[in-house]
Structure 1
Amino acid sequence: MYRILIPLFLPLLGLLFLYGCAESSSAAVVNRGASPSQPTYTADWESLEKYNESPDWFADSKLGIYAHWGPYNVPAFGSEWYPRNMYVEGSKEFEHHKRTYGDQSEFGYHDFIPQFTAEKFDAEEWAQLMQDAGARWGGPVAQHHDGFAMWDSELNPWNAADMGPKRDITGELVKALRKRDMKVITSFHHARNLQRNAADREHWAGWSSHYPYNPAYATATEDPKLRWLYGNVPEKEWYPYWLGQLEEVIDQYDPDIIWFDVWLNLIPEQYRKEFVAYYFNHATARNQEVVIAHKKDDLPIEVSVLDIEQGGKTDVSERVWLTDITLSNQSWSYVEGQTYKDPALVLRNFIDVVSKNGVVLLNISPRADGSIPQEQKDVLHTMGDWLKKYGEAIYGTRPRSKYGFGSAKTEENRFGGQTATIKYSASDVRYTESKDHKAIYAIFLGAPEPGEVELDGLGAIDFPPKTPVKRVTILGTDTELEFAFDVHDNYIVIPAGVTFDEIATVVKLEME
């Protein structure tokens, strides 16, 4: 019963929160949850920028996996934006919904939730698959734009523990991941959940809100509980609700990474500062090093890691960066008829990102019942099998001054260099280097042809090895290669009659 009553008290809580912020921003941080009594960080950028936004464990990890999974998987049509688009007249989702489920005024998005039962969800299986794929961290989309919380929430009445699966999805997955000594990510997309367009009758489908306000549908509901799902709540009540859910996940699950989708800039700056301070203080009290990931300019780069969706850098970055890439071609969530990327492309793209000082966040798309399609498992197992053999060239490495060379071309788009769709070949080589500078790895993105290969960028007038090269081998074998690294030459000789890895072959240069 107390869960049902919570939304009724949120307006009062919002006013109390705002009063507390007016009195003292730092005091608001001190008095919440598990933050220390004497916080290390206050809610201002000058204080927060002292935190190390990219700890070594994150730079070393190279690969994480999360899952777009929620009630939007039930219709399995269009994309994870079905909750919005089903209310946008003229969209394919709008027409599909009317044909399949009836008029939106009679069957709304909230009516899918009882059908989201997750009967095949197995946290142990998910965590093991993530680990087998070579990921060092993983987790759920904790809340997408749709406003449904995938954790056991006391604040959000629309949560997986109380309805739908009636299980603490986040809690179960966190436990399974930590059991495997993996770190945890929780992602949040709920900055768009607030109704910001109700007063604009000509633009009800405005982009600043996920759900288009329309008096004909539940998106305009005044129901004291249902309005929290659709975000039809006054701003003074909703912003503390946005922040409170983040604090709840921090206190209950201690995530190592909190990742934000774009539109975080819609949240007033003070609330963003309050979140960052709360998270950093909570982590500091636990001797935990945490990471915040943001997109575009939604947070200062000094307090968080930049994420580039489905894209990436065209050159080596001084700062560690992140890219989120989905295995599927049509949608981030599972839809009927989904197709998937070639495993070789996914792996080669991953290597390219690592060579440019990046980390990859791969997305999987489970079905509504919690099962993961075999095609996705096959891609992940291909990744894992390769990393089991050649992970030495990936984990814990750092980029070189030149990331490599080759014929693969990047194309600029709104996400950056479109690394997610580049066509690579064995003529493309990417470099990584061990942190102790004792080894350089030249990774051929395919099976190289026999013959002499000049390693562009390792020459004496470019960025040569710090100490003389003493041995060159094909990683994973005992095959030694002829080589020359001096003031005149920098080449290796690829021998004939050797079986190479068709996806990516690693040549290791060992230094004295």
Structure 2
Amino acid sequence: MNTRYIIFISIVLIFTGCVSSEKQFEPTVESLKQYETPGWFRDAKFGIWNVWGLYSVPAVGEWYARNMYIMESEKKWQVQGPYHRKVWGHQSEIGYKDFIPMWKAEKFDANKLMEQYKSAGAKYYTSIATFHDNYDLFDSKYTRWNSVKTGPQMDMVKAFQDAAHEQGLRYGATTHLARSLNWWTVNKGSAEEPYDGIDSVYYDLYHPPYDLENPNHKYILPMIGQACGIGELKI
């Protein structure tokens, strides 16, 4: 299958998550092609979307989950690896998964946020359902790695949705799961210096070792479809 289909599927699924629609979709490309932007979204003009999740524990950027495993980089902003080693410890002993029990979200107040967003003039609000880190912020039936079963033990998506509707705002949730394959290739480390991502016990979070040069679409498609709750995609 051509890679462009993967890109197309990812974009369509993101937009079907961002703006709600009454139309029901089947897990096929042809079905997803029937999607049309609803009129209310064209008229809304202004909405707010923010990125918030498990990476707020180390609080050094939302790309921490990937960058913490990169010790040397020519990119000046990619500094989380040395920072993690200095502040938290070696990536074989303290990995991204270890932040989960630390995330309490004790000051989380979706209602207060929605009040502020509405007063700013927003007509809709969109939150993260699953970021590139493969950690779900809702009660997922596909993975144990979610904010209800672990961490703060809260359904963040439902909390945001309920608060948005209470303020009369439209609500949407986005999934960025497909990129986690690229993200998580670095958490395995090397033969000389393995990281916690090489432990098969955590493959359902970190993914098994994956060859980006020879992608396995049979692995990608079920993951994308399940993340969006429409079942395994068929091409």
TM-score range, shorter chain: 0.7 to 0.9
**CA–CA distance in 2 between the matches of 1:99 and 1:165?**
26
Q: Displacement of 1:166 after TM fit?
A: 0.5
C-alpha distance 59-114 of structure 1, shift in aligned 2 (>3 A): same
| 1:87 equivalenced with 2:69 (yes/no) | yes
* 1:81 to partner: Cα distance: 1.0
Q: Say whether 1:155 aligns with 2:138.
A: no
In 2: Cα distance, 1:119 partner to 1:135 partner: 26
Q: Which residue of 2 aligns with 1:105?
A: 92
- Taking a change above 3 Å as real, the CA distance of residues 74 and 44 of structure 1, as seen in their structure-2 partners, is closer
Alignment partner of 1:143 is 2:121: no
Alignment-derived partner of residue 203 in structure 2: 227
Question: In the alignment, which of 221, 228, 232 is matched to residue 246 of structure 1?
Answer: 228
Q: 1:43 aligns with which of 28, 44, 47?
A: 28
Give the % identical residues.
33
Give matches, 1:112-151, under 5 Å. Answer: 112-151=99-138
1:42 Cα deviation after fit: 7.9
RMSD of aligned C-alpha atoms? 2.7
Q: Which structure dedicates a bigger proportion of its chain to helix?
A: 2
Larger C-alpha radius of gyration, 1 or 2?
1
In the alignment, which residue of structure 1 is the partner of 2:6? Answer: none
1:204-238 Cα shifts (integer Å, max 9, x gaps): xxxx4444132501222211xx2111122785455
Higher strand share: 1
Which residue matches 2:189?
Answer: 214
* Counterpart secondary structure, 1:247: coil
1:59 aligns with 2:42: yes
String of CA shifts for 1:312-358, please: whole Å, max 9, x gaps: xxxxxxxxxxxxxxxxxxxxxxxxxxxxxxxxxxxxxxxxxxxxxxx
Question: How many equivalent pairs are there?
Answer: 199
Q: 1:49 to 1:167 in 2, by over 3 A?
A: closer
Q: Which secondary structure state, in structure 2, belongs to the residue aligned with residue 145 of structure 1? A: coil
**Structure 1 residue matching 2:208: 3-state secondary structure:** coil
Q: Secondary structure at the match of 2:189?
A: coil
Instruction: Give SS of 1:187's match.
Output: strand
- Describe the superposition over 1:393-425 as per-residue Cα deviations: whole angstroms up to 9, x where unpaired: xxxxxxxxxxxxxxxxxxxxxxxxxxxxxxxxx
Within 5 Å, give how 1:330-409 maps onto structure 2. Answer: none
Query: Normalization by structure 1: what TM-score?
Result: 0.36
Q: Does structure 2 conserve the Cα–Cα contact (< 8 Å) formed by 1:83 and 1:211? A: no
Segments of 5+ residues of structure 2 without an aligned counterpart are 1-21, 74-78, 211-215
One-letter identity of the residue aligned with 1:61 = A
Structure 2: distance between partners of 1:48 and 1:75: 37
Could you tell me whether the CA contact under 8 Å between 1:66 and 1:185 is conserved in 2? no
Alignment-derived partner of residue 76 in structure 1? 59
Q: Show the 5 A alignment for 1:317-332.
A: none
Note the alpha carbon deviations across 1:422-464, whole angstroms, 9 max, x for none: xxxxxxxxxxxxxxxxxxxxxxxxxxxxxxxxxxxxxxxxxxx
Read off the aligned partner of 1:82 and give its amino acid letter.
Y
Residue 169 to residue 50, structure 1, CA distance change in 2 (3 Å): closer
Hey, what does 1:385 align to over in structure 2? none
Pair 49,100 (structure 1): closer, same or farther in 2 beyond 3 Å: closer
For the 8 Å contact 1:83–1:109, the answer to whether it is kept is yes
Other structure's SS at 1:105 match: coil
Residue 8 of structure 1 corresponds to which residue in structure 2?
A: none
Which SS does the other structure have where 2:171 is aligned?
strand
TM-score when normalising by structure 2? 0.75
In structure 1, the residue corresponding to 2:126 is in which secondary structure? strand
Segments ≥4 residues shifted beyond 3 Å:
39-42, 47-51, 208-211, 233-239
Distance 1:210 1:65, change over 3 A: farther
